[in-house]
Amino acid sequence: MKNSFRDRVYTIAAKIPKGKVVTYGQLAKMAGSPQAARAVGMSMRCNTDRKKVPCHRVVASNGALTGYAFGKGVTTKKEILLKEGVVFKSNKVDLIRSQWTGR
Enumerate the active-site residues.
55
CA distance 103 to 90: 27
| 59: Cα within 13 Å, side-chain hemisphere | 27
The conformational region for residue 73 under phi > 0 = left, psi -120 to 50 = alpha, else beta, is left
E strand or H helix at 92, and its extent?
strand 92-93
